[in-house]
Chain A
Amino acid sequence: MTALELREKRLESISDNARLAAQGDETAFSWLIEESEGMLYRVCRSILHSEADCADAVQETVITAWRRIGQLRNGASFPAWLARICVNRCYRLARSRKAGDGFDEPQTRMQSDARLDVESAMQRLPRELKLAISLYYFEDWGIKEIARASGVFEGTVKSRLHRARKILSDSLIGYKEEKRDVTR
């Protein structure tokens, strides 16, 4: 079975289970959440800094999703819908923390430290760019889905992706050059 067929089959399962969950089926809802667990984690990580905050955010997300799944119109869009709830919860949680708490200023850090690996380069991205990159590269989502999950226009997503790519690319190239110099 090709990757595309697997993806379609998965989407079909998600759609079916979302329909059942909308009718109050807890098992179907649990399956959906377990399927989306990785995505939820990465969304939380892209916005929140601490593990404890991520866990709190996902708990609120799951409960909110369960209460509101009856309002979901299209079962196939469940992942984007769930991500949207998660993003909102994370932002709300982030706002409740002190400003700057746990979040680094990317520009200054990147300039001062060229020895960045991918993970830390990601961590130093502004959170809206981090979210776009996370959904685009980690979850393999399209622009449209990312826009829906983030609550912004598609053009904004494209712009964010472009900016994020540039920052990441610069930091990774700098990292590789420095690494090459050290090994000589």
Chain B
Amino acid sequence: MLRDDILKRTLRERRPEPTAAFSGRVRSTLTKLPQGKRRPAWRFMPASAIVFLGVAALCVVIINNKTIGSLFVHGMPPATQQLAVGGQPTATDMETAARETPEPTPADSPSSNPSAQETPNPSPPDGQTTAPAAQDTPMPTPDNPQTTAMPPQETPEPTPSEAQKTSMPDPGAPISTTRPDITKRMDEYIAEFLNGGIDLREMIVTHPMSSGSIAYGDKAYVDAVYKGPDAIVYEVIVSDDKTGSMQKYFENHAGKDGNPENRVLLRQEQNPGLLLFVLCPGLVDKDYIGSIVSEEKFNLVVSANDDIPSKLYIWGIYAVLEPSETGKFRIYVINTSPGYRQTGGFTILSRLYSDTAEGGRKLEGTYALPID
């Protein structure tokens, strides 16, 4: 057989071209095309694509409504309302808040600030006390506004105690339509964080860390704040209310492995749902966290993982702040418990995005930190 390229070349040389008669017939036909009605542009789109687009648009609307509604058990806080309409507390708002609220100084420490000691403790109802470190540190509760500064709302804000009782928005409050500021630089955001410009008093679980223990929609409360030069550590308690389900969960399940000591251990020595929530520009070594947090609390949460038989209930958590594509943040919360490398995250009000990340993932990059 002839080679294909030779055959191709031979045939191409003899390729028949349209004759004049043929071309003439084509031209004359083109001049006499029957007039039809003009077709709309969407007619070019496949019918399946049109149906798909319609269904997709409908789904987006439904899912949006469901998601926003389900995030907050007691309703939608004003900040989320802002987010829902595409708004966000602007950088200017945050800076104003930071200016109005003095940053925490050594003089603000609980030893010299009685209000911090008066702050309601989110410990379980059985009278169990939190670890001493929590009391030694200013708590970012509404009663102690010096530790954190809330972004100012456009409506008169409820008193802090009212705000803590419920997250129901003021129905008469106008909804902000301020567009998100996506141009703000990462280091400015971190500085804002570390200076307490972002309220971490109330968070919500959006990515449960392990099945059953912390559930979607549970709320998380900051119980204590530890500040270091390179990171800020929030001691967080997760619960669906301040005294509720986490304690019940531990009571019900702590002795599941047949060892009653575990239950005792957890109830007496472990604050249920206690997390150390570390915000830092990149991962920090847990020894560094230990240098910020009191040794007792640190050992309880992080180091004790290897010693306590029921590891499921205790986490050492690192959270990594990372800018998202939209200019907001994701917080990666990495579960460091041996055997439980699942990840989870929190949405902190409407200000931050939460997301999952692979356990132990290291993120590159460091940022300038103008920390006090």
Contact = CB atoms under 8 A, between A and B. Distances in A.
A34 B26 contact: yes
A87 interface: no
A9 interface: no
Given A22-B39, A33-B30, A169-B1, A59 B25 contact: yes
Contacts of B10: 118, 172
B7 A137 contact: yes
Interface in A54-83: 54-55, 58-59, 62-63, 66-67, 70, 72-73, 75
B33 interface: yes
Contact of B29 (A19, A42, A51, A62): A62
Given A118-B14, A137-B12, A168-B7, A24 B39 contact: yes
A23 B39 CA distance: 5
Interface string A107-151: 000000000011100100000000001000110000000000000
A23 B16 contact: no
Given A29-B33, A38-B17, A62-B30, A172 B39 contact: no
Contacts of A67: 34, 36
B223 to A, nearest CB: 61
A63 B39 contact: no
A45 B16 contact: yes
A57 to B, nearest CB: 10
B62 interface: no
A51 B22 contact: yes
Interface string A145-184: 0000000000000000000011011101100000000000
A41 interface: yes
Query: Which of the four size classes fits the interface of chain A?
Result: 35 or more
Contacts of A166: 1
Given A22-B43, A45-B16, A58 B36 contact: no
A118 B17 contact: no
Interface in B29-76: 29-30, 33-34, 36-41, 43-44, 46
B324 interface: no
Nearest to A136: B8
Contact of A119 (B14, B17, B40, B44): B14
Given A22-B43, A22-B44, A55 B7 contact: no
Contacts of B26: 33-34, 37, 40, 58-59, 62
Interface in B1-25: 1-2, 4, 7-8, 10-19, 21-23, 25
A33 B33 CA distance: 12
B17 A138 contact: no
Given A55-B25, A118-B11, A30 B30 contact: yes
Given A38-B18, A45-B16, A166-B1, A19 B7 contact: no
Given A63-B33, A168-B7, A24 B38 contact: yes
Given A54-B22, A62-B26, A168-B7, 16 more contacts: A26-B30, A30-B30, A37-B22, A41-B18, A41-B22, A51-B21, A55-B22, A58-B25, A66-B33, A66-B34, A119-B14, A122-B14, A165-B4, A165-B7, A168-B2, A172-B7
Interface of A: 19, 22-24, 26, 29-30, 33-34, 37-38, 40-42, 44-45, 51, 54-55, 58-59, 62-63, 66-67, 70, 72-73, 75, 117-119, 122, 133, 137-138, 165-166, 168-170, 172-173
